[in-house]
Amino acid sequence: MQCADLKYHFPRRACLGLVMCLFALGCDARGIPDSKSQESPRDWQTLEVLATAYTLAEDETKKGNVGLAAWGDRLKPGMKAIAVSRDLIPKGLDHRTRVKIEGLPGTYVVRDKMNRRWRNKVDILVKNKRRAREWGKRPVVIRWLDAGES
Protein backbone atom coordinates (compact mmCIF):
# COMPACT_ATOMS: atom_id res chain seq x y z
CA MET A 1 0.00 0.00 0.00
CA GLN A 2 1.34 3.43 -0.89
CA CYS A 3 1.21 6.57 1.26
CA ALA A 4 -1.37 8.09 -1.06
CA ASP A 5 -3.71 5.14 -0.36
CA LEU A 6 -3.49 5.60 3.44
CA LYS A 7 -5.08 9.07 3.48
CA TYR A 8 -8.22 7.64 1.84
CA HIS A 9 -8.51 4.57 4.09
CA PHE A 10 -7.70 6.10 7.47
CA PRO A 11 -10.65 8.53 7.77
CA ARG A 12 -13.11 5.78 6.92
CA ARG A 13 -11.61 3.49 9.58
CA ALA A 14 -11.57 6.31 12.14
CA CYS A 15 -15.22 7.13 11.47
CA LEU A 16 -16.18 3.48 11.80
CA GLY A 17 -14.36 3.27 15.13
CA LEU A 18 -16.05 6.43 16.40
CA VAL A 19 -19.49 5.17 15.40
CA MET A 20 -18.85 1.84 17.11
CA CYS A 21 -17.76 3.60 20.32
CA LEU A 22 -20.84 5.83 20.36
CA PHE A 23 -23.08 2.84 19.80
CA ALA A 24 -21.38 0.87 22.56
CA LEU A 25 -21.68 3.76 25.00
CA GLY A 26 -25.39 4.25 24.31
CA CYS A 27 -24.97 7.80 23.03
CA ASP A 28 -26.46 9.52 20.05
CA ALA A 29 -24.38 11.33 17.43
CA ARG A 30 -24.09 14.48 19.59
CA GLY A 31 -22.66 12.52 22.53
CA ILE A 32 -25.84 12.89 24.58
CA PRO A 33 -26.80 9.77 26.53
CA ASP A 34 -29.80 8.01 25.05
CA SER A 35 -32.78 8.70 27.34
CA LYS A 36 -34.16 5.21 26.75
CA SER A 37 -31.02 3.63 28.16
CA GLN A 38 -31.42 5.60 31.40
CA GLU A 39 -35.14 4.98 31.79
CA SER A 40 -36.00 2.30 34.30
CA PRO A 41 -39.36 0.74 35.14
CA ARG A 42 -39.38 2.48 38.53
CA ASP A 43 -39.44 5.89 36.80
CA TRP A 44 -42.88 5.22 35.37
CA GLN A 45 -46.05 6.10 37.26
CA THR A 46 -48.69 3.36 36.98
CA LEU A 47 -52.44 3.53 37.54
CA GLU A 48 -55.49 1.43 36.75
CA VAL A 49 -58.26 3.51 35.19
CA LEU A 50 -61.52 2.96 33.34
CA ALA A 51 -60.99 3.48 29.60
CA THR A 52 -63.60 4.33 27.01
CA ALA A 53 -63.20 5.49 23.42
CA TYR A 54 -64.49 8.54 21.59
CA THR A 55 -64.53 9.95 18.08
CA LEU A 56 -64.59 13.43 16.64
CA ALA A 57 -68.28 13.14 15.81
CA GLU A 58 -70.15 16.33 16.71
CA ASP A 59 -72.48 14.48 19.09
CA GLU A 60 -69.44 13.40 21.15
CA THR A 61 -67.57 16.70 21.17
CA LYS A 62 -68.29 20.38 21.62
CA LYS A 63 -70.89 21.53 19.10
CA GLY A 64 -69.48 23.77 16.40
CA ASN A 65 -65.87 23.05 17.36
CA VAL A 66 -65.33 19.49 16.18
CA GLY A 67 -61.71 18.53 16.79
CA LEU A 68 -60.97 21.36 19.21
CA ALA A 69 -59.77 19.92 22.53
CA ALA A 70 -60.14 21.55 25.94
CA TRP A 71 -56.49 22.69 25.94
CA GLY A 72 -56.88 24.17 22.46
CA ASP A 73 -55.25 21.33 20.52
CA ARG A 74 -56.70 20.48 17.10
CA LEU A 75 -57.46 16.76 17.05
CA LYS A 76 -57.54 14.73 13.85
CA PRO A 77 -58.79 11.19 13.23
CA GLY A 78 -55.98 8.70 13.69
CA MET A 79 -54.03 10.75 16.26
CA LYS A 80 -52.84 8.77 19.27
CA ALA A 81 -54.55 11.11 21.71
CA ILE A 82 -56.43 10.67 24.96
CA ALA A 83 -58.64 12.78 27.18
CA VAL A 84 -58.20 12.43 30.94
CA SER A 85 -60.58 13.01 33.81
CA ARG A 86 -59.59 16.13 35.69
CA ASP A 87 -58.72 14.26 38.89
CA LEU A 88 -55.81 12.64 37.01
CA ILE A 89 -54.17 15.96 36.09
CA PRO A 90 -52.66 16.59 39.57
CA LYS A 91 -51.33 13.01 39.49
CA GLY A 92 -49.09 13.95 36.55
CA LEU A 93 -51.36 13.30 33.56
CA ASP A 94 -51.23 16.89 32.41
CA HIS A 95 -51.40 18.35 28.90
CA ARG A 96 -48.95 16.69 26.46
CA THR A 97 -47.98 13.89 28.86
CA ARG A 98 -46.96 10.74 26.97
CA VAL A 99 -48.91 7.67 28.10
CA LYS A 100 -48.61 3.95 27.44
CA ILE A 101 -51.87 2.02 27.61
CA GLU A 102 -51.64 -1.67 28.47
CA GLY A 103 -52.87 -3.75 25.54
CA LEU A 104 -52.46 -1.01 22.93
CA PRO A 105 -49.38 -0.42 20.79
CA GLY A 106 -47.50 2.85 20.82
CA THR A 107 -47.60 5.92 22.98
CA TYR A 108 -50.57 8.23 23.39
CA VAL A 109 -50.48 11.92 24.27
CA VAL A 110 -52.83 13.69 26.68
CA ARG A 111 -54.50 16.28 24.43
CA ASP A 112 -57.93 16.73 26.02
CA LYS A 113 -59.64 16.76 29.39
CA MET A 114 -63.03 15.34 30.25
CA ASN A 115 -66.08 16.82 31.92
CA ARG A 116 -65.67 17.37 35.67
CA ARG A 117 -68.18 14.62 36.50
CA TRP A 118 -65.75 11.84 35.45
CA ARG A 119 -63.22 10.34 37.86
CA ASN A 120 -60.30 7.96 37.30
CA LYS A 121 -61.04 7.68 33.59
CA VAL A 122 -59.39 8.11 30.20
CA ASP A 123 -61.07 8.44 26.82
CA ILE A 124 -59.08 7.16 23.84
CA LEU A 125 -59.52 8.92 20.49
CA VAL A 126 -60.42 6.41 17.75
CA LYS A 127 -61.17 6.84 14.04
CA ASN A 128 -64.85 5.89 13.98
CA LYS A 129 -67.85 4.86 16.06
CA ARG A 130 -67.49 1.19 15.12
CA ARG A 131 -64.05 1.10 16.76
CA ALA A 132 -65.37 2.99 19.77
CA ARG A 133 -68.16 0.43 20.23
CA GLU A 134 -65.69 -2.45 19.82
CA TRP A 135 -63.51 -0.96 22.55
CA GLY A 136 -66.45 -0.40 24.88
CA LYS A 137 -65.60 0.33 28.50
CA ARG A 138 -62.83 -1.56 30.26
CA PRO A 139 -60.28 -1.21 33.01
CA VAL A 140 -56.70 -0.69 31.78
CA VAL A 141 -53.34 0.01 33.33
CA ILE A 142 -51.67 3.18 32.08
CA ARG A 143 -48.04 4.23 32.54
CA TRP A 144 -46.46 7.64 32.18
CA LEU A 145 -43.30 9.45 33.15
CA ASP A 146 -44.00 12.12 35.72
CA ALA A 147 -43.11 15.60 34.42
CA GLY A 148 -40.42 15.93 37.09
CA GLU A 149 -38.71 12.75 35.86
CA SER A 150 -38.93 13.03 32.05
The model's pLDDT over 103-132, given as tens digits with 9 standing for 90+, comes to 999 999 999 999 999 999 999 999 999 999
One-letter amino acid identity for 124?
A: I
For residue 150, is it within any domain? Answer: no
Enclosing domain of residue 62: 39-145
Q: What pLDDT, on the 0 to 100 scale, is given for residue 60?
A: 79
- pLDDT higher at 137 or 10: 137
Are 30 and 101 within one domain?
Answer: no
More confident residue, 131 or 77: 131
Q: Answer yes or no: pTM beyond 0.85.
A: no
Taking residues 73-80, report their average pLDDT: 93
Q: What is the pLDDT of residue 37?
A: 43
Res 33 pLDDT > 60: no
Q: What is the mean pLDDT of residues 15-41?
A: 48
How many beta carbons lie within 10 A of that of residue 98, not counting itself? Answer: 13
Contacts 24+ apart (CB under 8 A), 37-44: 39/145, 43/145, 43/146, 43/149, 44/100, 44/143, 44/144, 44/145
Residue 101 has pLDDT above 50, yes or no: yes
Cα diameter, the chain: 80
* Same domain (yes/no): 26, 100: no
pLDDT at 19 > cutoff 60: no
Q: 60-75 burial string, b = 16+ CB within 10 Å, else e?
A: ebeeeeeeebeeebeb
**Does residue 108 sit within a domain?**
yes
51 and 114 share one domain: yes
Q: Are residues 97 and 139 in the same domain?
A: yes
